[in-house]
Amino acid sequence: MDKSLEQSVADFTHSIGIMVRRVRSAAGMEELSLAESSVLKRLEMDGAATTAELARLERVKPQSMGATVAALEKAGLVVKRPHPTDGRQMHIQLSTKGKSWRARTIHAKHAWLAQAILQLSKADQAALFKAGEIMKRLAEQ
């Protein structure tokens, strides 16, 4: 990798990190880890899942997911229910508190980001949204 590409990648990664921290801060998400936030989002989008399923989908070890789920359960953001077909397993799902928390944080993140984007020129807004499409394609490869 040539030096300028390597530096550009490092700068890009750093910029993404700053943006993620700013958005999370605006939403008051400091109390949850990225892993915990990701699990809540997945449960909201995909519905109930076992700890093993969540670990596979999030690409982490089952033990790590167990700790994440335990922290979310302790915070009252998820609940465990018996699996509908396998009595040995438990389904993890968002609690009422978890659903409310997700709705509030999504609104806060979108509101902050919308205000920040409004400060950009129309050309920069278009470039930013195009970059978002490109980033999504890269992530899905």
pLDDT in tens, 44-73: 999 999 999 999 999 999 999 999 999 999
**Cβ atoms of 50 and 58 closer than 8 Å:** no
> Cβ neighbours of residue 11 under 8 Å, at least 6 residues apart?
none
**Cβ atoms of 78 and 40 closer than 8 Å:** yes
pLDDT in tens, 100-124: 999 998 899 999 999 999 999 999 9
**Cβ atoms of 40 and 98 closer than 8 Å:** yes
E strands along 8-102, which residues?
Answer: 78-82, 90-94
Q: Name the residue ranges covered by the structural domains of the chain.
A: 1-30+96-141, 32-94
Among left, alpha and beta (phi > 0; psi -120 to 50; other), residue 125 is alpha
CATH 3.30.70.2520 fits 32-94, yes or no: no
**Cβ atoms of 91 and 50 closer than 8 Å:** yes
pTM of the model: 0.74
Average pLDDT over the chain, rounded to an integer: 91
Separation CA 72–CA 80 (nearest Å):
11
pLDDT at 24 over 90: no
